[in-house]
Chains A and B, each alone.
Chain A
Amino acid sequence: MFDLIGVPPQALFGQLLLGLINGAFYALLSLGLAVIFGLMNVINFTHGAQYMMGAFCSYMLLTYFGIPYWGALVLVPIIVGATGIIIERLFISRLYHLDHLYGLLLTFGLALIIEGMFRKQFGSSGLPYTNPIPGGTNLGFMFLPYYRAWVVVSSLVVCLGTWFMIEKTQLGSYLRAATERPDLVQAFGINVPRMITLTYGFGVGLAALAGVLAAPIYSVNPIMGANLIIVVFAVVVIGGMGSILGSIITGFGLGVIEGLTKVFYPEASNTVIFIIMAIVLMLRPQGLFGTPK
C-alpha cells in the first residue's frame, strides 16, 4: 500500500510522530492562551516567554539544586505560574477596562524584557537537558522513543483534564459564567478578581509545563518560545479565540498536518499552518470552533 503512494512507512510514521509531538506543544500552549483569553480578554503575548521560562526553570532546578525532571514537572508550573500571578496583579489587572490592544502590547513588551534577561544571563546558544527516559521500542513499522510517547500522552491527559475541569465541574461553571457576566457572578458572592488572577497563573503554568516537556527534546534556549509562539498564535486563530476544545483539537490536528506535509510536500511544511490560517480567515473568520462576536 505504501509503495503505491511512494512513501516508505518509516518516513510516514516518523513524521506523523513528529507532527504529534509538535501538536502536543501547540495544544498545550494554545489551550493556555484560550483559557486566559476566555476569562480575561487578554491576548497573552508573554506566553512564549513563559514556556521558555518553564524550560529554563527545570534546567536551573536540575543544575543548581539537583532536582530531577520528575520533580521539575510538578514544581516548575507552580513557580512560573506564581510569577504569572505577580505579573497579573502588578500590571495586567490595571488594563482590564481598556481595549484588548493594551493587554497585547503590555504582554508583548514583557516577553521582550524576559527574553532579553535570559539571553543576557545564559547566552543564546542553548543548553542541553538530559532525556529522563532514554531508549525506545521498535513497533515494527517504526521506532518509538519512550520520551516522545510520554510527551504526547501527558499533553493529551493535561489538555483533556483541563477541558473536563472547565466544561464539567462547578469551578468550571464559575469560569464560564464569569466569561459572560463577571459583574453578576461576583454579585452572587464569588471573588471574580481572585479567580481571574488564579486563571492567569494556571494558563501560565500550562505554558511552563510545556516548557518542561520540551527541555529534553529541544535545547533550552532563550528564544525557543519566540519561535514557537508565532505558530501557536496561528493555531489559535484557526481554532477560534477562547475555545477550549477547539484549541486542543486544532493543536494536535495542525501538528499532524504539518508532519504529513513534510512527507508529501516538504517545501510547504513551514508554511502550511499559515496557509490554512489564511483560508480559515477567509471562509470562517471566527475560527473553526469560535462563535461570531
Chain B
Amino acid sequence: MAEALLAIRDLHAWYGESHILHGMTFDVNPGEVVTLLGRNGAGKTTTMRAIMGMMAKRKGSVRYEGHELIRLKSNRIARYGLAYCPEERGIFASLNVRENLMLPPKVKDGGLPLEQIYRLFPNLMERGASQGTKLSGGEQQMLAIARILRTGAKLLLLDEPTEGLAPVIVQQIGSTIRMLREQGFTVLLVEQNFRFAATVADRHYVVEHGQVIDMIPNAAIEANREKLKAYLGV
C-alpha cells in the first residue's frame, strides 16, 4: 500500500525536560477528516505542534507527501502545504480582521479565493476594519479557520475548533469542515466532543499519555460508544 499523505511514526516530543509524546504513530490519507480524541493533557495539541515543527525538542518521523519533516523549521514545514489553527485561535490584537485574514502567506496554488471565503464567513467582510480580538469567540474561530484556507495548504490541523462555542456556531463549523472535505482538503482535527467528531470525521484516533491507543472508523462509532466513553472519561 502506498504511504499515507501524512505518516507519523514513533513521534516523541518534550517541553523542557518533560517527555510529553511517547511514540505517536498514525496515518492520515488524502481527503480524509481524521480526529485525535483524548482527555485533557493527553498530548493532542503537542502532537499538532510537533507536526508543525513548533516543539523545540522532537524525534521520530513525520512524513508528508513522502517528505521527512522532523528536522525542518516550522516555516519550511508550512511551505509544504500544512496549516495550523491553534486551540487558542491565535488572532492578533495588533492586526485588524482583514490583516489577520491576509496574514498567512500563500504557500501553494489552489487556495480558496477570497470571495469564496467571504461568502462562507460574511461577518469577516463586514468587520474587516475591526481589531481582530474585538470579534466574538465564534467569529474569531471562523477567522482562524478562514485565514488558513487562502494559503493553498491542503492539510489543515484544527485544534478544538468547537471549544467553548454556542451550538449554532458548532453546527456552522461542522458544515464548514464537511464542505472543506468535499473541496478536497484533508483535515486532522483535535476534539474532546466525540458526538461532534462523529458528524464530520472518517476515522478517530484515541490518544492517551502521548500515545495512540486505539483507532475507530466512524462507521463503528456507535458500536464502540461505551469503550469511547471509558477512554474519554465522559
Interface residues of A, Cβ cutoff 8 Å to B: 170, 173-174, 176-177, 179-181, 183-192
Contacts A187-B84, A189-B75, A189-B104 known; 7 new A-B pairs at CB < 8 A: A173-B102, A179-B94, A183-B54, A184-B86, A187-B77, A188-B104, A189-B79
Residues of chain A with a CB closer than 8 A to B99's CB:
173
State the Cβ distance, A58 to closest chain B Cβ, in Å: 35
B92 lies within 8 A of A189 (CB): no
A189 lies within 8 A of B73 (CB): no
A187 lies within 8 A of B53 (CB): yes
Q: Number of residue pairs across A and B with beta carbons under 8 Å?
A: 56
Residue from the list B53, B75, B78, B92 in contact with A181, Cβ < 8 A: B92
B218 at the interface (CB under 8 A from A): no
Residues of chain B with a CB closer than 8 A to A186's CB:
54, 73-75
Closest 7 A/B residue pairs (Cβ): A189-B78, A188-B104, A176-B94, A187-B74, A173-B99, A177-B92, A184-B90
Residues of chain B with a CB closer than 8 A to A176's CB:
92, 94-95
A186 to B105, CA, bound (A): 11
Residues of chain B with a CB closer than 8 A to A181's CB:
90, 92
Residues of chain B with a CB closer than 8 A to A192's CB:
75
Residues of chain A with a CB closer than 8 A to B90's CB:
181, 184
Residues of chain A with a CB closer than 8 A to B104's CB:
188-189
A176 to B84, CA, bound (A): 19
B92 lies within 8 A of A187 (CB): no
Residues of chain A with a CB closer than 8 A to B221's CB:
none
A177 to B147, CA, bound (A): 14
Residues of chain A with a CB closer than 8 A to B73's CB:
186
Please, which residue of chain A has its CB at the minimum distance from the CB of B82? A187
B207 at the interface (CB under 8 A from A): no
Please, which residue of chain B has its CB at the minimum distance from the CB of A168? B99
Residue from the list B54, B75, B84, B92 in contact with A191, Cβ < 8 A: B75
- Decide: A177 near B75, CB < 8 A? Known: A184-B90, A187-B54: no
B189 at the interface (CB under 8 A from A): no
B78 lies within 8 A of A187 (CB): yes
Q: Output the residue of A174, A177, A183, A192 with the most chain B CB within 10 A.
A: A177
Residues of chain B with a CB closer than 8 A to A185's CB:
103
Can you offer 29 A-B residue contacts whose CB atoms are under 8 A?
A: A174-B103, A176-B92, A176-B94, A176-B95, A177-B92, A177-B94, A177-B95, A179-B94, A180-B92, A180-B93, A180-B94, A181-B90, A183-B74, A184-B90, A185-B103, A186-B54, A186-B74, A187-B54, A187-B78, A188-B103, A188-B104, A188-B105, A189-B79, A189-B105, A189-B107, A189-B151, A190-B75, A190-B105, A192-B75
Residues of chain A with a CB closer than 8 A to B105's CB:
188-190
A133 to B165, CA, bound (A): 65
Q: Output the residue of A179, A185, A186, A192 with the most chain B CB within 10 A.
A: A186
B52 at the interface (CB under 8 A from A): yes
Please, which residue of chain B has its CB at the minimum distance from the CB of A183? B54
In the complex, chain B residues 54-83 whose Cβ is within 8 Å of any chain A Cβ: 54, 73-75, 77-79, 83
A191 to B79, CA, bound (A): 11
B52 lies within 8 A of A187 (CB): yes
Please, which residue of chain B has its CB at the minimum distance from the CB of A189? B78
State the Cβ distance, B12 to closest chain A Cβ, in Å: 19
A170 to B102, CA, bound (A): 8
State the Cβ distance, B74 to closest chain A Cβ, in Å: 4
- Decide: A173 near B95, CB < 8 A? Known: A181-B90, A183-B54, A188-B103: yes
State the Cβ distance, A25 to closest chain B Cβ, in Å: 27
A173 lies within 8 A of B103 (CB): yes
State the Cβ distance, A161 to closest chain B Cβ, in Å: 19
A180 to B94, CA, bound (A): 8
A189 to B52, CA, bound (A): 10
Residues of chain B with a CB closer than 8 A to A180's CB:
92-94
A177 to B78, CA, bound (A): 17
State the Cβ distance, A78 to closest chain B Cβ, in Å: 26
Please, which residue of chain B has its CB at the minimum distance from the CB of A176? B94
Produce 1/0 per residue, B180-201, CB < 8 A to A: 0000000000000000000000
State the Cβ distance, A173 to closest chain B Cβ, in Å: 5
State the Cβ distance, B128 to closest chain A Cβ, in Å: 13
State the Cβ distance, A247 to closest chain B Cβ, in Å: 16
A191 to B72, CA, bound (A): 12
A181 to B104, CA, bound (A): 13
Please, which residue of chain B has its CB at the minimum distance from the CB of A179? B94
A281 to B105, CA, bound (A): 40
A177 to B79, CA, bound (A): 19
A173 to B86, CA, bound (A): 19
A87 to B75, CA, bound (A): 24
Residues of chain B with a CB closer than 8 A to A190's CB:
75, 105
- Decide: A188 near B78, CB < 8 A? Known: A170-B102, A173-B99: yes
